[in-house]
Amino acid sequence: MGLIIPNANIKLVIICALVFSFSIEFSQLYHAAWIDEIRSYKLAALVLGVGFQTSDLICYTVGVLFGALSETMLINKGRGISKGTNGTSLL
């Protein structure tokens, strides 16, 4: 999502990434003949998934938060911002 909307606030990127990934996961609860036919192709099964798993939602959340934290740390490092022990900027 950060690549798709590069100038967006990190909170918006987090929300968009979670909504997108959760939508894909919840779509796996829907089993009409036409969508199951599409899912029968390997590439479509990789993108759309085949079965709903609650643990995937946890994994998506952890992954998105890890990515946001990593990006935030890289941005702050690029700006030369370091935090002191009391949370104030050292610069």
Q: pLDDT tens-digit profile of 32-82? A: 999 999 999 999 999 899 999 999 999 999 999 999 999 889 887 877 755
- 3-state DSSP assignment of residue 75: helix
- pTM for this model (two decimals): 0.75
Residues 6+ apart with CB under 8 A from 75: none
DSSP 8-state assignment for residue 81: -
Radius of gyration of the chain (CA): 18
Is residue 89 situated within a structural domain?
no
Give the number of domains in the chain.
Answer: 1
Instruction: Please give the residue range of the domain that contains residue 43.
Output: 10-77
In a domain, 38, yes or no: yes
How far apart are alpha carbons 70 and 89 in whole angstroms? 18
